[in-house]
Amino acid sequence: MRKLADKIFIAIIAVLVLALAFSGFTIYKKSKDISKVEKEMNQAEQTITQNEEKISGLQQELDGAKSENEKIKSELDTAKNEKDKLQKENDSLKKQIETLKAKKNNSAQNTLENSAQNGQTSTQNPVNPSSGKKVCYLTFDDGPTSRTPEILKILKKYNVKATFFVINTSNINYIKQAYDEGHAIGLHSYSHNYAGIYKNVSAYMKDLQSISDKVYSIIGVRSDIMRFPGGSSNLVSKKYCRGIMTQLTKEVSEKGYAYFDWNVDSDDAGSSHSSYTRIVNNVLKGSDGKNSICVLMHDAESKTSTVQALPKIIEGLAARGFRFELLTSKVTGFHHGVNN
């Protein structure tokens, strides 16, 4: 009986030892888990602290940017007010200048108008190609059109010669009248289709040859002067072929052509409804400070204002001492910077 009791006691002791060991292991494991969690919590707290510091720094930057923005806005408002003030002063000064110019040129213009109205001969007309120390080349693009005879009539009245850079129009035969009356015929293009002529060098030269042949068939003379559609500085050509204007300016020169841009723009192409007064002012203002000018105008159906402005342009430039001459291949200059 005692032996059985001893066995039972030993068994109980063993169970207790095992339970104690299991509890110790469980406590150890929980302790490690707790340590891990505490470590993760500490890292999270550090991250939160760092983020809060960053947030605080960003908030300070935002506050500073807001303050700077308000300062800039205030400066912009001040600048705008100053600009408006200067613009008003500038407009007032322009009116004064125009009034003074009108007074200065009034006598010369009245003489010109009376001369034209009385049908005086070229030797009596003050607008004479050989008069004046400064040179003007009047040029007309995109014709001939039904406006061409009107332009020729005005030029004849003032005994002034001009240069027509022509395209193939339904009125192309008007170039014969222009040529017979002593005006220069230059080449602009056959089609005036930017996408077609500027897709490659070959396409452009083919188009140029077509308008050259057409002009020759009408006036019996090969023209060696030309103007690129859009001018040599145009950027539209870049849409169709990069670098083509650099190639073309060299190519046409090698073929014996002289190309001309302009240094005075009437801006009559800017709008089909440009007032004749605006066109006149653009040309006269553009001539300021220049001794040699090449004036860009357009001979187009819609350019009624250009025709209306032409007499005042001639009168105004003559009063400023310009004589009127034709462009030839011997004339140098009037080249824009090539941008493609």
129: Cβ–Cβ under 8 A, 6 or more apart, which residues? 159, 160, 161, 323, 324, 325
**C-alpha count within 13 angstroms, C-beta hemisphere, residue 243:** 1
Ramachandran angles phi, psi of 119, nearest 5°: 65, 40
Active-site entry in 141, 142, 207, 299 = 141
Only one residue has tokens 């090539």, namely 338
C-alpha 226: how far from chain center:
22
Structure tokens at 12: 């109980």
**141 classed as catalytic:** yes
Only one residue has tokens 């006691």, namely 9
**298 classed as catalytic:** yes
Burial class (CB in 10 A: 0-12, 13-18, 19+), 332: exposed
Active-site entry in 207, 261, 268, 298 = 298
Catalytic machinery residues: 141, 298
